[in-house]
Amino acid sequence: MKYSGFLKEHSPALMWALRVTDWLVLVLSCWLAMAIAIDTWTFHRIYTIGAIVASLASFSIYPFFSIYRAWRGATKLEEVRALFLGWTALFAVLALLAVFSKTSHDYSRLWFGTWYLIGLVGLIGSRFLLRSLLSFIRENGLNTRSVVIIGAGELGQRVATTLKMESWTGLNVVGFFDDDENVSLATFVRDIPLLGRVDDCPEYLHRNKVDQVWICLPLSREEEMRTLFQRVDDVPVDLRFVPDIFGFQLLNHSITEIAGLPVIDLSASPMDGIHRVVKAVEDRVLAAIILVLISPLLVGIAVAVRLTSPGPAVFKQRRYGINGEEIKVYKFRSMTTQDNGTEVKQAQKGDARITPFGAFLRRTSLDELPQFFNVLQGRMSIVGPRPHAVAHNEQYKGLIGGYMKRHLVKPGITGWAQINGWRGETDTLDKMEKRVEFDLYYIENWSVWFDLKIIFLTVFKGFLHKNAY
């Protein structure tokens, strides 16, 4: 069957075109930088080696930043962010290779900086040019597909509404098929006509040009779907099944293939594979730098804690870490007691257990600083859901849906919930629910960029807060 469009979703040809274009941008920007910085249009041997190394490194580095994902529907800012991070990471790797191989003196720093700037502009410009070309193609009807939806229920209506709103997909819903006896053929659902009963669909497909059939029926109608598959087997259309999973509380949901088996992830940790490595490197590098910078402050606070109240300077509390495993979290002691059992009372405003110096530490969040050692140990992250006492976890996991999904990632020193004001005492269930809501949003939308944003905002919003006591 001939399609009205020639670019399929996630087309391998399109992905290879992007890779080739990005490579050309890399080489041409290198060449242009030489003309500007070194006043030559001829590739010297050392610069040729640099371009080759950069090309090989880009093939490995770019995929880490999802540069070759399908960008249809994504915002320009999202794509620019990925391109910026990928290009910058490439040049960081090139700089490190030059230092470790002791060849940095062979290259012009002006050429290197010029190459970075020209290449970044060229990379972003080429992607915007491609976006404009694809938009022109779709606006002229050259990259669209007609879709009929089997099932006009809640799921089918949701799918149709989404496809209408997300016009960038190029998928045009021409009608529904449904067996609801109370619905006449003159009915329009979401401004889309009902074309007939489910049994009428095969005949319609034979008589009309349709590219795709989306089946949006509940799983209980499995036998009906099986029959439909058999009846449309001789019609050259794409069949797609939309599972009704929207009633679940989803987290990082996706469809993957494992050992040739299609698997739907309903709830999964984003810290898997290369993401786990990136997060670990990010945490340890930043934690090491921060600890070096704040080491005098740590010593001063430790001495002050010991001098102002009896007891150890550092308090170790049992908390849950990733996958619900128990860990010990370090804090500067701010109370006269060290509750760490099955019942832990949250700090309240004017709490008699808090020492005078401890109150200052808690208001400024300085009591949390020893947790950077937890980060170096690999028990915590700089950014993530704040770890709760074991007793509090046991209390809330049965009261709040999805509460334990916070433990799909490592707990953090700061987090998205804290930046948005959901910190301190949770004296009502609503407050804890909001904290969990923001924690799950962070897990769902994790990226290195998001982490850096939270760290930056912590400087201005995270240390001092009215709920910190």
Measured between alpha carbons, how far is residue 396 from residues 176, 207, 320, 374, 427 in Å? 44, 58, 13, 24, 12
Please enumerate in sequence order all residues whose Cβ is within 8 A of that of 335, keeping only pairs 6 or more positions apart, or say none: 315, 347, 351, 353, 354, 355, 358
The per-residue pLDDT for 420 is 87
Tell me, yes or no, if the pTM score tops 0.75. no
Task: Report how far residue 127's alpha carbon sits from residue 130's, in angstroms, rounded to the nearest whole number.
Answer: 5
Same domain? 127 vs 212: no
Residue 205 belongs to what domain range? 145-244
Same domain? 280 vs 398: yes
Task: Report how far residue 362's alpha carbon sits from residue 61's, in angstroms, rounded to the nearest whole number.
Answer: 41
- pLDDT per position in the chain (469 positions), as tens? 333 333 344 455 567 778 888 999 999 999 999 888 887 777 677 888 888 999 988 888 887 787 876 555 556 787 888 899 989 999 999 999 888 888 888 888 999 999 999 999 999 999 888 777 766 766 565 667 789 999 888 888 888 888 877 665 677 899 999 887 665 555 676 688 888 888 888 889 888 888 888 988 877 777 888 888 877 777 777 788 887 766 565 565 666 555 555 566 666 666 666 778 888 888 999 999 999 999 999 999 999 998 888 888 888 888 888 877 888 899 998 887 665 555 555 555 656 678 888 888 888 888 889 999 999 998 999 999 988 877 777 778 778 877 878 888 899 999 998 888 877 666 678 888 888 889 988 888 888 888 888 988 888 775 555 555 4
| Residue 290 in tokens | 């921060």
Same domain? 337 vs 367: yes
Residue 259 lies in a domain: no
Same domain? 291 vs 321: yes
H/E element, 229: helix 222-231
Of 139, 173, 208, which residue sits at a domain end? Answer: 139
Residue 5 lies in a domain: no
Residue 155 lies in a domain: yes
Task: Report how far residue 283's alpha carbon sits from residue 376's, in angstroms, rounded to the nearest whole number.
Answer: 8
Measured between alpha carbons, how far is residue 393 from residues 165, 250, 268, 342, 435 in Å? 40, 21, 20, 10, 13
| Residue 208 in tokens | 């009309």
| Residue 103 in tokens | 């060849």
Residue 249 lies in a domain: no
Q: What's the domain count of the chain?
A: 3
The per-residue pLDDT for 370 is 93
Residue 74 lies in a domain: yes
Task: Report how far residue 237's alpha carbon sits from residue 231's, in angstroms, rounded to the nearest whole number.
Answer: 12
Same domain? 221 vs 352: no
Same domain? 352 vs 443: yes
Residue 399 lies in a domain: yes
Q: What is the DSSP letter of 251?
A: B
CATH code for the domain in which residue 238 is found:
3.40.50.720
Of 116, 139, 162, which residue sits at a domain end? Answer: 139
The per-residue pLDDT for 190 is 67
Q: Which amino acid is at 140?
A: N
Same domain? 78 vs 56: yes
Same domain? 285 vs 410: yes
